[in-house]
Amino acid sequence: MERQGENKVSDSNSGYPKPRFLAVVLGLCGLGLAPLGYQLIAAGGSFYYLLAALVLILCCVLLFRGDQRGAQLYGGFLAFTYLWAFYEVGLDAWALMPRVAFFTVLGLWFLLPRVRRGLQQGPVEPLMQQRPAQVTAAGFLLLLVAVYIANTGYEVGTPSAAGTGQVRNESGEWRHYGSSKTGTRFAAVDQINLDNVDQLERAWEVRSGVPGEFKGTPIQVGDGIYLCTGRNVILALDPDTGEERWRYDPQIESPRIGFWDTCRGVTHYALPDPSDSDCPERIFTATTDARLVAVNKDTGQPCADFGGNGEIDLLEGMGEVLPGFYFVTSPPSIANDVLILGGWVLDNQQTEEPSGVVRGFDPVSGELIWAWDMGREDRIGLPEAGESYTRGTPNVWSLTSVDEELGLVYVPTGNATPDYWGGHRSEAMERYASSVVALDASNGRVRWHFQTTHHDIWDYDVPSQPTLVDIPINGVTRKAVIVPTKRAEIFVLDRETGEPLTEVAELPTPQTDLPDEFTSPTQPFSVGMPQLRFDDLTEHDTWGITPFDHAACRIQFKSMRYEGPLTPPTTYGSLYYPGVGGGQNWGSVAVDEINHLMVVNTLHMPSVVRLIPRDEIQQGQGFGIGGAQRGTPYGVFSFFFLSPIFAPCLAPPYGDMAVIDLASQEILWRRPLGTARGQGPLGIPSRLPLPMGMFYNAGSIVTAGNLIFIGGVQDSTMRAINLMNGEEVWTDRLPGSSTATPMSYVSPETGKQYVLVTVPEGGGGLQLETAVNEGSAEAQVPGGYIIAYSLPD
């Protein structure tokens, strides 16, 4: 009688259609995952994806027939998926997402009454039939718990030497790119502080009138703000209103390749005797078409006594320079009345690119005082007729720092060209590559140097302005230079001698297997400072938006060579972590001079590098994004580690901020910064303000009000952060993400403290530099934004 009753119930539901659409979706998912799962196993990776594919295909068959065992099987599969995901990554919410979110959403389909009734075609077992719903509900609950745990709380320490430091720039003026010549990015002003920062508001906002890049950090000298936009256009603004006083356009003629319209800042110089010139105070910019330009600080007119009508040619002595192969993007430094600058070359194109010579000029006349040519250190002046500065030597493209008491300028060097092959390099190309070098400011001779990467074939040049601080180490105040690197190794050295003040160890690293190339058996690691890169990556650290691109990322990871830091390039692909963007980059670090606290932004975005044999390039197979590396056996493909839908293949966070106590060499706090609002697959913004830890540009500043300011995180937000605990205490939505380090100053007219940030037209992003099309209507573009914040009157 009971069996007849069951049949009667089944017959009453027999009119509902079987869930065949759901079956087809699961089947297609299984068919899509199957080849990926097979490839991953063949590469030595996880068995999960092939197993998942087979289960999904079996679920498809059962559901297509209206067999409720298909639902039961999917419930079991979902439970197994959660257990596997927790085993791999624990309760890390973002790492769980590609493992469980997609299948959890599919599991919700089983909750639809139409699907449930369509499965009641045979004997009904209500408890078993509801298993997918139960598993899905439990899965959602666990996922919510994971999100909460992963995004709340981080350890906060206590400063060990708070209040014991001395301010090196008490005027409150931001006269140099990094606030002072020491590059600390510290504003010794506390008018804006933790008690009132929530009242901060926009005081004024102006547009630059120049399209394109806008990476310039302004300086403040007296009652004026001075900055460069893209294309080296110099602006002078009123500090209280932003009103333009003058502008000077040097009319650059740079080929539109690479960083052709980048200018990071300007330099101010006041003559010791103002009566010696009609241009007693001048503003300098070094251009991307290789000129050094001086204009009057008060009028913006060229200084007639500097070079030829206010400019000098930086190509003199360089020999043959192809268009766009030599340019300058960083402001020069002034050290004891010597104007010092390096330059940049177009990366990865060929051997024998223009020299990396560093030169010192007279800031009044523009005459060359000295040149440091790494291949001819005995030669101080210009090369003989018919000769040139040594070609192919490492260049100094980033910002330099100055200790005028010691008479030293600290220059961060790149590696010799091209980046990813070094079999041809000479001693001159190797000795000072990827180093910090202390030069005598009076004659350009080397006092000492410290190499951060030996025989650099990873593009791990030193990109950051060295930061000069006096810090207590083991109870003794030491004159230190802090050297952040793309490797996320931060070296702390004695700035008089170059000896390490915190422990540096030479550790074994992976070795190359390419003929005619070599690698150093060991590399320097700053083991005395906190480790800011992640631990060595594994397959579990890969990521994606869906199981499909996550599996593709796993295949990439297992198919490439990766043996930890400094894995050398290969012809089948190597994974670099940190990637070629850092670690740290040209934004450098910021240091609270009073409390000996260092603010560090770290980027976590691996790179994929593959060498392309020369014969393949000649056959037209090309090398994609990278460089030809002419003169070597290989071209190179170099790009970020991305999935087929251009999602990162590494789990978040992609950027974080840490504060390090320089006295104890301990992390005070560390946390991700930024949300996923402006990011998404295929470049489509998600618009979701989910805490993620995003990519960033440029750097941070720190003030005596115990505040950190940063606008370069890739979610178009200006932030104020509590220096002591990492709490975000104020935000403002920007028109785009900044690509420059902010600055802060006090107006001499009103006594108000301002915080200023620049934002490019359309916002900045972690992307390849692109040129503006010649036919674009760029003349009508209002240009980038200059935004100043202050407290209300």
As a residue count, the chain comes to: 793
Contact indicator for 439, 358 with CB cutoff of 8 Å: yes
Q: Are strands 368-372 and 717-722 parallel, antiparallel or unpaired?
A: unpaired
What are the respective helix, strand and coil percentages of the chain, to the nearest 5? Answer: 20, 25, 55
What is the SS3 assignment for 77-116? Answer: HHHHHHHHHHHHHCCCHHHHHHHHHHHHHHHHHHHCHHHH
Contact indicator for 731, 690 with CB cutoff of 8 Å: no
CA–CA gap between residue 181 and residue 171 (Å, rounded): 13
Nearest partner of 191 among 166, 172, 210, 219, judged by Cα: 172
Query: How many CB atoms sit inside 10 A of residue 31's CB?
Result: 13
The secondary structure of 662-720 as a DSSP string is: TTTTEEEEEEE--BSTT--GGG-------B----B-S--EEETTTEEEE--BTTTEEEE
**Which residues are bridge partners to 736 per DSSP?**
none
Would you state the structure tokens that stand for residue 513, as one six-digit string? 């297997």
Nearest partner of 279 among 289, 291, 293, judged by Cα: 293
CA–CA gap between residue 642 and residue 552 (Å, rounded): 10
Nearest partner of 368 among 379, 353, 377, judged by Cα: 379
Amino acid at 82: Y
Give the angle subtended at the CA of 417 by the CAs of 413 and 420, to the nearest 5°.
100
Helix (H, G, I), strand (E, B) or coil at 558: helix
CA–CA gap between residue 390 and residue 375 (Å, rounded): 5
Would you state the structure tokens that stand for residue 607, as one six-digit string? 């790179």
Scanning the structure block, which residue is given the tokens 């990396």? Answer: 356
Nearest partner of 718 among 739, 707, 732, judged by Cα: 732
Torsion of CA 761, 766, 769, 770, to 10 degrees: -60
* Residue 177 burial by Cβ neighbours in a 10 Å radius (0-12, 13-18, 19+): buried
Q: Are strands 574-576 and 607-613 parallel, antiparallel or unpaired?
A: antiparallel
Dihedral sign for Cα 194, 198, 202, 203, please.
negative
Would you state the structure tokens that stand for residue 347, as one six-digit string? 């990366």
Nearest partner of 254 among 307, 342, 314, judged by Cα: 314
CA–CA gap between residue 456 and residue 87 (Å, rounded): 38
Scanning the structure block, which residue is given the tokens 């119930």? Answer: 9
Q: Are strands 522-525 and 505-508 parallel, antiparallel or unpaired?
A: antiparallel
CA–CA gap between residue 647 and residue 652 (Å, rounded): 11
Amino acid at 315: L
Helix (H, G, I), strand (E, B) or coil at 434: coil
Catalytic residue among 289, 373, 403, 459: 459
Nearest partner of 429 among 412, 414, 450, 443, judged by Cα: 414
264-294 burial, b for 16+ CB within 10 Å, e for fewer?
A: bbbbbbeeeeeeebebbbbbbbbbbbbbbbb
Catalytic site includes residue 494: no
Hey, which residues are catalytic here?
459
